[in-house]
Amino acid sequence: MTQIIGDTTSGLTLDQATELGIGFIPQIVVFEEKSYRDDTEIDSDTFVKMLEASAVLPKTAAPPPALYSPLFEELQRTGDNAIIICPSSKLSGTVRSAMTAKNDFPDLDIRVIDTESVGSGLAMELIQAVKWAKEGKSIDEIEAGIRDMMSRERIFAVVDTLEYLYKGGRIGGASKLVGDILQIKPILTLRNGIVETYEKQRTKKKALARIVELVEKECPKTGDKGFLSLSLQKNISADELEFFQDEFKSRIGVDNVPFYNMPPCFMVHAGPSVIFVSFFVD
């Protein structure tokens, strides 16, 4: 059987991953020179409080290769193979860490996939990969399925401030300056694993409404290849939450949109308030 391995950038929690049978690796958050394992040593609520109380911008670090070793040692014991579904190598050093760890176990069949993505899309890929593994699909079939999902993923996001993306090196100074001066709320996306501006709106309300329009236009309403996932920070306002729930239900017919945790490693670069939508086209 193929073991599926992911990490906290997906928005899955350790408890959720354990229940699903996913091998799970925490990202590292560095706050005032102290390192924390994402979701195990620091949770989202604690991180937001620390962020709001500190003038120091936190950083992230890729998980050290040694964190993968216990999972790989278990593979040696069971004779299984593994697929590691990683966030974009242009945003995180996770792929590099996984490859380094893999090289210490040359006898194992371990596939490291750079999804060029991040967030709830990774969660859906991990969940689907586990489903395929339990159905008895081969490692080649699962890898091909994940790469197919990668080609069909769409991501749209809105952040309350561009400050964190700028300081973390995810956008340029010109984009931040224009956004600050004009109070523009850009709709962000990922292209080839890099954060880019999809389009610009004058208010957050208009940006959220536009995301709903984009999802309605592209997200399939039927078919097993079309499913929507929504990831957002826990402190999102009740009005914004209700807006998305109502709009997705009325426009797409989705009654229960899955919500995923917005982990500290994500908020380091996006800020404490971010709305992140991902889905897969047919």
Nearest Cα neighbor of 131 from 255, 8, 22 is 22
Provide the pLDDT for residue 170: 47
Q: Kindly report the CA angle at 124 between 187 and 233, in degrees rounded to 5?
A: 50
Could you write out the DSSP letters of every residue in the chain? -EEEEEEGGGS--HHHHHHHT-EEE--EEEETTEEEEBTTTB-HHHHHHHHHH-SSPPEEEPPPGGGGHHHHHHHHHHT-EEEEEE--TTT-SHHHHHHHHHHT-TTS-EEEEE-S--THHHHHHHHHHHHHHHTT--HHHHHHHHHHHHHHEEEEEEES-SHHHHHTTSS-HHHHHHHHHHT-EEEEEEETTEEEEEEEESSHHHHHHHHHHHHHHHS-SSSTT--EEEEE-TT--HHHHHHHHHHHHHHH--SS--EE---HHHHHHH-S-EEEEEEE--
Provide the pLDDT for residue 55: 82
pTM comes to 0.90
Q: Are residues 86 and 200 in the same domain?
A: no
Q: Are residues 246 and 188 in the same domain?
A: yes
Q: Are residues 34 and 76 in the same domain?
A: yes
Provide the pLDDT for residue 233: 47
Please say whether the beta carbons of 112 and 98 come within 8 A: yes
Q: Are residues 22 and 121 in the same domain?
A: yes
Q: Which of 130, 151, 172 is the last residue of a domain?
A: 151
Q: Which of 132, 151, 170 is the last residue of a domain?
A: 151
Range of the domain at 88: 2-151
Provide the pLDDT for residue 176: 43
**Residue 241: other Cβ atoms inside 10 A:** 15
Q: Are residues 163 and 236 in the same domain?
A: yes
Q: Are residues 174 and 203 in the same domain?
A: yes
Q: Which of 95, 129, 151 is the last residue of a domain?
A: 151
Please say whether the beta carbons of 220 and 254 come within 8 A: no
Q: Are residues 136 and 160 in the same domain?
A: no
Give the CATH number, domain containing residue 37.
3.40.50.10170
Give the pLDDT means over successive 10-residue stretches in the chain (282 positions). 96 94 97 91 89 86 96 97 97 97 98 95 94 98 97 89 64 46 77 89 89 86 57 64 82 77 86 85 81
Provide the pLDDT for residue 71: 98
Q: Are residues 73 and 120 in the same domain?
A: yes
Q: Are residues 121 and 198 in the same domain?
A: no
Q: Are residues 21 and 67 in the same domain?
A: yes
Q: Are residues 175 and 86 in the same domain?
A: no
Q: Are residues 220 and 203 in the same domain?
A: yes
Tracing tokens 């590099």 back to the chain, one arrives at 96
Burial of 153 (0-12, 13-18, 19+ CB in 10 A): buried
- Based on the structure, what is the number of domains in the chain? 2
Provide the pLDDT for residue 159: 84
Give the CATH number, domain containing residue 197.
3.30.1180.10
